[in-house]
């Protein structure tokens, strides 16, 4: 009997000590990740059984100032903000001010989609589930890159011009614009801005004192990272995204210490307080947000075994080797972040970075999963670094081929009459661009998004390529001119050159006509 008891206690002790990651192990994984993916600064938080058991910063906030990252350093969490927008709407549902399946036009009568049926049937739920019929990142050039002059009203007005790529409510395609419109619904119903509502109803109760719903609303901007982008083989500090248009989809600024309070409340199904005596939102609302709404293709889950992948309301839901995983990622220029919850294991993982390699946060979070859930896989840093290099080499081969052709054309002094493609062109939702020649160069200039300005180069036939002056965009694009039956240029379409260009550069959704 005693031997059995001792054996049982030994087994329990062994399982308890196995299911964790030591600080030394975390340090090793993060530092190898920083080196492998050239990430200046990373912050990591681990939540277990309702407590933040590890919170730590690594590296620097800024390669120029060399200030250190810690657990209170502010990062933009980008699309991790979407869960807060879903929760804000959930609170309004709890208050019986709206219902998930209310029609959007009840609150925003000016809202209009690509056809009358979709417009009339589009619900608040539809704003959150990425199943609108529009393509991946459709219309994101109204919010990306920063420096444009679009407004939420422009998005509500212009979304009707975006063409569907699938049937309404039939396929998953991630979008940002509809979350911005969701934020407008929150504002219309609550009588306060989305920012005010989220800060009052989510951040203040959780005492997220260093956090805000936008960079522009932070009371203290000391100890904050700056974004970094690998540009021409060298890491470059770039300007942070500050435009408030993106707030309801990607605006939240927070630290690991603050964000852990949100994660713990999620793991406690909306409850918070010293004895979990308070409630952010109802259990019914919590369950709705974590209920699969949209089936997603099972991709990017290696090396784990996965049986399903879905999207709820502001959260992605899948299984990892039989464990329910609730998660989201976020990305802005020079910043990517990740939040992962394993509710049945009472485990939460937070990884914030100030560089835009998603493979970096996966290397860290996968290592933490393995340690706490008892998985045994080869080193994730090595595996993901090898995979990333292969993708980068492939992308370089594709882009180098285009610019090699351009260089050859210019070396051979092939005469190109750029005046034939010059003029004013207009897209229904993106607005006007000008193609003009000056000082021996042909310049492509966007009127509403001036960072999208660069030189136009002939490739072959009616195929040209635009090279943006801002090289950190990593988004050079094909330009394909169209002619009428007489051979006259009447417009053009565009497409990103590199397969690694961020999907929010949705050049493929543009269709310019020449302005006569």
CATH number at residue 342: 3.40.710.10
pLDDT at 516: 87
Q: Does any domain span residue 13?
A: no
pLDDT at 23: 95
- How far apart CA 139 and CA 161 sit, in angstroms, is 9
pLDDT at 7: 43
Asked whether residue 285 falls in the same domain as residue 427, the answer is: no
Given a cut of 50, the residues of the chain with pLDDT beneath it are: 1-18
Q: Does any domain span residue 215?
A: no
Q: Does any domain span residue 182?
A: yes
Asked whether residue 387 falls in the same domain as residue 427, the answer is: no
Task: Tell me if 94 sits within 8 A of 279, measured CB to CB.
Answer: no
Asked whether residue 330 falls in the same domain as residue 238, the answer is: yes
Task: Tell me if 194 sits within 8 A of 186, measured CB to CB.
Answer: yes
Beta-bridged to residue 347, according to DSSP, are 48, 342
Asked whether residue 371 falls in the same domain as residue 441, the answer is: no
Supply the pTM of this predicted model: 0.93
- How far apart CA 514 and CA 516 sit, in angstroms, is 6
Q: Give the start-end residues of each E strand in 138-275.
A: 228-231, 234-237, 253-254, 271-272
Among the candidates 391, 407, 427, a domain finishes at 391
- How far apart CA 494 and CA 506 sit, in angstroms, is 9
Beta-bridged to residue 323, according to DSSP, are 320
- In the DSSP assignment, the letter for residue 241 is P
- How far apart CA 252 and CA 254 sit, in angstroms, is 6
Asked whether residue 67 falls in the same domain as residue 200, the answer is: yes
pLDDT at 40: 98
- How far apart CA 267 and CA 48 sit, in angstroms, is 10
Q: What is the pLDDT of residues 289-342, one digit of tens each?
A: 999 999 999 988 889 999 999 999 999 999 999 999 999 999 999 999 999 999
Q: Does any domain span residue 410?
A: no
Reported residue count of the chain is 516
Q: Does any domain span residue 94?
A: yes
Asked whether residue 353 falls in the same domain as residue 451, the answer is: no
- How far apart CA 240 and CA 334 sit, in angstroms, is 8
Total domains in the fold of the chain? 2
Task: Tell me if 365 sits within 8 A of 325, measured CB to CB.
Answer: no
Segments forming the whole domain that contains residue 456: 416-514
β-strand pairing of 453-460 with 463-468: antiparallel
Q: What is the pLDDT of residues 381-429, one digit of tens each?
A: 999 999 999 999 999 999 999 999 999 999 998 999 999 999 999 999 9
Asked whether residue 69 falls in the same domain as residue 131, the answer is: yes
HEC sequence for 49-76 = CCEEEEEEEEEECCCCCCCECCCCCEEE
Q: Does any domain span residue 239?
A: yes
Task: Tell me if 314 sits within 8 A of 128, measured CB to CB.
Answer: yes
CA 288 to chain centre: 22
Q: What are phi and psi for residue 171, nearest 5 degrees?
A: -140, 155
Asked whether residue 335 falls in the same domain as residue 430, the answer is: no
HEC sequence for 335-367 = EEEEEEEEHHHCEEEEEEECECCHHHHHHHHHH
Beta-bridged to residue 372, according to DSSP, are none
Asked whether residue 281 falls in the same domain as residue 242, the answer is: yes
Helix axes 23-37, 358-373, angle to 10 degrees: 160
Asked whether residue 321 falls in the same domain as residue 439, the answer is: no
Q: Does any domain span residue 328?
A: yes
Task: Tell me if 457 sits within 8 A of 465, measured CB to CB.
Answer: yes
Record the tokens describing residue 478, joined without a space: 């094909």
Q: What CATH number has the domain bearing residue 446?
A: 2.40.128.50
Asked whether residue 360 falls in the same domain as residue 476, the answer is: no
pLDDT at 19: 64
pLDDT at 13: 39
Task: Tell me if 361 sits within 8 A of 349, measured CB to CB.
Answer: no
Asked whether residue 325 falls in the same domain as residue 260, the answer is: yes
Q: Does any domain span residue 216?
A: no
């Amino acid at each position: 009997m005693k031997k059995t008891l001792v054996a049982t206690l030994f087994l329990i002790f062994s399982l308890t000590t196995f299911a964790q990651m030591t600080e030394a192990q975390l340090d090793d994984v993060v530092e190898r990740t920083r080196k492998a993916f050239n990430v200046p600064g990373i912050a990591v938080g681990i939540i277990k059984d309702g407590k933040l058991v590890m919170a730590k910063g690594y590296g620097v906030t800024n390669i120029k100032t060399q200030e250190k990252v810690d657990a209170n350093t502010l990062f933009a969490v980008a699309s991790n903000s979407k869960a807060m927008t879903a929760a804000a709407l959930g609170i309004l549902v709890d208050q019986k001010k709206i219902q998930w399946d209310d029609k959007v036009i009840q609150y925003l009568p000016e809202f209009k989609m690509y056809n009358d049926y979709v417009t009339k049937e589009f619900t608040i739920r539809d704003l959150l589930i990425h199943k609108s019929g529009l393509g991946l990142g459709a219309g994101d050039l109204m919010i990306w890159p920063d420096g444009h002059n679009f407004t939420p009203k422009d998005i509500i007005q212009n979304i009707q011009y975006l063409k569907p790529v699938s049937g309404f409510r039939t396929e998953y395609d991630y979008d940002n614009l509809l979350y911005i419109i969701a934020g407008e619904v929150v504002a219309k119903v609550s009588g306060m801005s989305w920012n005010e509502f989220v800060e009052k109803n989510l951040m203040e109760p959780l005492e997220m004192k260093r956090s805000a719903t936008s960079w522009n609303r932070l009371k203290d901007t000391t100890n904050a990272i700056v974004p970094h982008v690998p540009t021409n083989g060298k890491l470059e500090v770039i300007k942070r995204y500050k435009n408030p248009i993106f707030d309801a989809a990607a605006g939240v600024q927070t630290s690991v210490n603050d964000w852990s309070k949100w994660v713990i409340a999620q793991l406690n199904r909306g409850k918070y307080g010293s004895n979990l005596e308070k409630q952010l939102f109802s259990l019914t609302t919590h369950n709705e947000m974590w209920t699969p709404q949209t089936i997603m293709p099972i991709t990017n889950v290696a090396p784990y075994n996965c049986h399903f992948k879905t999207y709820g309301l502001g959260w992605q839901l899948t299984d990892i080797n039989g464990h329910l995983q609730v998660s989201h990622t976020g990305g802005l220029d020079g910043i990517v972040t990740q939040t992962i919850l394993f509710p049945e294991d009472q485990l939460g993982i937070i990884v914030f970075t100030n560089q835009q390699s998603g493979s970096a946060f996966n290397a860290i979070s996968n290592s933490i999963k393995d340690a706490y859930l008892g998985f045994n896989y080869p080193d994730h840093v090595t595996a993901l670094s090898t995979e990333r290099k292969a993708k980068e080499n492939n992308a370089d081969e594709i882009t180098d081929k285009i610019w090699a052709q351009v260089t050859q054309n210019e070396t051979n002094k092939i005469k190109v009459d750029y005046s034939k493609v010059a003029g004013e062109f207009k897209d229904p939702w993106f607005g006007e661009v000008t193609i003009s020649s000056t000082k021996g160069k042909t310049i492509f200039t966007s009127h509403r998004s001036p960072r999208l300005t660069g030189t136009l180069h002939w490739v072959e036939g009616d195929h040209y390529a635009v090279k943006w002056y801002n090289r950190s965009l990593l988004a050079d694009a094909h330009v394909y001119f169209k002619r009428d039956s007489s051979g006259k240029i009447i417009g053009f379409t565009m497409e990103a050159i590199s397969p690694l260009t961020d999907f929010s550069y949705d050049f493929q959704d543009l269709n310019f006509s020449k302005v006569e």
